[in-house]
Amino acid sequence: MKTRSISAGGGGPLLEVEGLAISLGTMTITTSMSIALERGESIAIVGESGSGKSVTARAIAGLLPSGLDATGAITFDGMSLMPLPERERRKVRGYRVSMLMQDPFTMLNPLMCCGDHIDEMLRARPEFASRAARANEVQRRLEEVGISDPDVARRLPFQLSGGMCQRVAMAAALARDPDLLIADEPTTALDVTSQAEIMKLLADVQRERHMGLILVTHNLRLAFATCQRVYVLYAGSILEVGDAIAIERQPFHPYTLGLLLSDPPVDIRVPNLVAMRGSVPRAAEVVDRCSFADRCDWASAVCRALKPPLVARDGLRFTACLRQDEIQSEIDARRATVLSEEPKRLSPGEARECLVRVNSLAKTFSGGRGRPVRAVRDVSFYIRSGECVGLVGESGSGKTTIGRCLVGLENPTSGDIVIGGISAADYGAMEKRDLARIRRSIQMVFQDAYSTLNPRHSVGRALSEALGASVGATSPATPERVASLLAEVGLSAAYANRRPVSLSGGERQRVAIARALAVKPAILVCDEPVSALDVSVQAQVLNLFRRLQVEHALSYLFITHDLAVLRQIAERIYVLYLGEIVEHGPTEKVIGDPQHPYTRRLVQSIPRGTMQLTR
């Protein structure tokens, strides 16, 4: 099924993909799909992890990993790419088709200066034969992506922030002036302001050069705010295609609806995020039926008996749902209902006990060449019993350093931390009894759950060890106690026998939360616990945090760069900038009516798509 848009320019489409299917031996990775891109057009390929987004993008670029095979047709500017030998594909890839990866550190050689990455791309062009000409062009290319400091060209990647490295990687990807740029999750690892800057740069460059752009992302807000058309992928199949504005206003497929409702809105607080149950199946498991049927509230017997084709429904809208005509009114009604529900009002916390009080906290690290780096400066805040307090700011603002000071992983240079009435500024100087009380009172949930779990140990062993350190741990950590702990975070007892490598990102984070709960803490420090998760899994974990807060009267210090996430969970927010608190107050007031210029910049940096989710 052709899914071309109305031509954005003469001379035919820039890219046509017809019947592209990817396999590993006899195992299906993606089913037959068609994608079209006009000259100067931007399209987004969206979906959860495991949907086939990145592998499809790599197939288009001719960068499939060894062992994977692609069939079908890929035509670029009238040239058929699939039959070309690798030697000929290289003349297209990197010159006319370029790719920007998610992690800039995988694109940049850690032993090469940043400017050399761009210089390398320019050497084949005769006008840059001399070193001086290339040096001038390197600086011009860096300025094009917002880097005006000439010293950056001489620095190594590790000496730059993630946002700066992504700018360098973008400059290198654009150095040969490609006709098509494929950007695979280019902002996932960045904070919201860096994300906004990178996407603005991409949009500006695309417009100036009339370049085609394929954005691969799980961030729907980003896709709707950036691209003209959207392809929704699930389990290796395209489920919906259409104009970004039209899809955002009225999704046709239940999966698209699920993604939209899972995404936390920034302008309202909803009672509960609508989290889709289950997870993405392998494409090979659903090749002969609707891939979304097991997670769909409208699935019927026919959905499990037939593979829905992608068919035109409304002009240039396409969907692969056999029952779309029957259920469209119900899809519309569900979205309207969710967005119109009144959230539970947060109860005033003035009478609640103050569990954590931080006074004039400062932390200075030793920098390069003996230069001190002041990561945190004169920070004061408090957390009440049963309260969620948000700590928000860009990368490098000092958020994580504060969290690590609270749990004793860093010692502050000055200031005081009081937890449960005990001074906890220096864990090493505390009496043994007080230290044991503090360690049971406060626990930390990290961003990367996988790195905090021993890959050689089963989930059951990890939780048993944590239970052994719980309050009054005189009884053994029995399988029943482990199962009870898993049930707290919505996992079955069978997970006790599994190892971290066999778990999804959301399941690992649930295990990490269960381990933190084992000692029955009063406070959880949550450091970017949902930033690496798909929107649907993020919704599940945020709902879990909400439930645990109510059931256990937990207090949270919730560290994040995402104000939309904080809108759904935090009662109060502290905004950090360069290690200092520049604004604080109730969540609704800070986000709805920011007073400090930096807070306003954070709010304005959030991609909001083409419409506001207001009542």
Residue 98 has phi, psi (to 5 degrees) of -125, 160
Residue 555 has pLDDT above 80, yes or no: yes
* DSSP class per residue in 200-222: HHHHHHHHHHT-EEEEEES-HHH
Least confident of 245-259, 376-390, 495-509, 574-588: 495-509
pLDDT at 348: 46
**Cβ atoms within 10 Å of 411's Cβ, excluding its own:** 14
CA dihedral defined by 493, 499, 505, 511, rounded to 10 degrees? Answer: 50
Distance CA 327, CA 310 (A): 17
Ranges of H-type helices in 554-611: 563-569, 587-592, 597-605
pLDDT at 612: 42
Q: Give a three-class secondary structure readout of 449-495.
A: HHHHCCCCCCHHHHHHHHHHCCCCCCCCCCHHHHHHHHHHCCCCHHH
Contact present, 320 and 253 (Cβ < 8 Å): yes
Q: Distance of alpha carbon 602 from its chain centroid, rounded?
A: 17
pLDDT at 610: 45
Contact present, 237 and 320 (Cβ < 8 Å): yes
pLDDT at 189: 67
pLDDT in tens, 31-63: 999 999 999 999 999 998 889 999 999 999 999
Q: Set out the domains of the chain in order of their start, with CATH numbers.
A: 15-96+176-337 (3.40.50.300), 104-175 (no CATH), 354-451+521-605 (3.40.50.300)
Residue 202, token pair as written in the block: 């991409």
Distance CA 273, CA 13 (A): 39
pLDDT in tens, 226-277: 899 999 999 999 999 999 999 999 999 999 999 998 888 888 888 778 888 8
Q: What 3-state class would DSSP assign to 499? A: coil
pLDDT at 11: 59
What DSSP designation does 557 have?
Answer: E
Distance CA 575, CA 582 (A): 6
Residues in the chain: 615
Mean pLDDT, residues 509-521 taken together: 91
Q: What 3-state class would DSSP assign to 35? A: strand
pLDDT at 345: 52
**Which helix or strand (DSSP H or E) is residue 406 part of?**
helix 399-406
Residue 472 has pLDDT above 70, yes or no: no
pLDDT at 475: 57
Mean pLDDT, residues 410-423 taken together: 95
pLDDT in tens, 10-23: 457 999 999 999 99
Residue 7 has pLDDT above 50, yes or no: no
Q: Distance of alpha carbon 397 from its chain centroid, rounded?
A: 19
Q: At what angle do helices 254-262 and 535-552 cross, to 10 degrees?
A: 50
pLDDT in tens, 563-610: 889 999 999 999 999 999 999 999 999 999 999 999 999 998 887 654
Predicted model pTM: 0.86
pLDDT at 349: 46
List the beta bridge partners of residue 586: 572
pLDDT in tens, 98-118: 998 877 777 889 899 999 999
pLDDT in tens, 423-460: 999 999 999 999 999 999 999 998 888 888 898 999 99
Rg (CA), the chain: 26
Strands ordered across the beta sheet of 97-100: 97-100, 180-184, 212-217, 42-46, 229-234, 237-243, 317-319, 311-314
Contact present, 232 and 255 (Cβ < 8 Å): yes
Contact present, 414 and 405 (Cβ < 8 Å): no
Distance CA 562, CA 196 (A): 12
Residue 71 has pLDDT above 90, yes or no: yes
The whole-chain average pLDDT of the chain stands at 88
Distance CA 361, CA 37 (A): 53
Residue 167, token pair as written in the block: 């700018």
pLDDT in tens, 304-322: 999 999 999 887 899 999 9
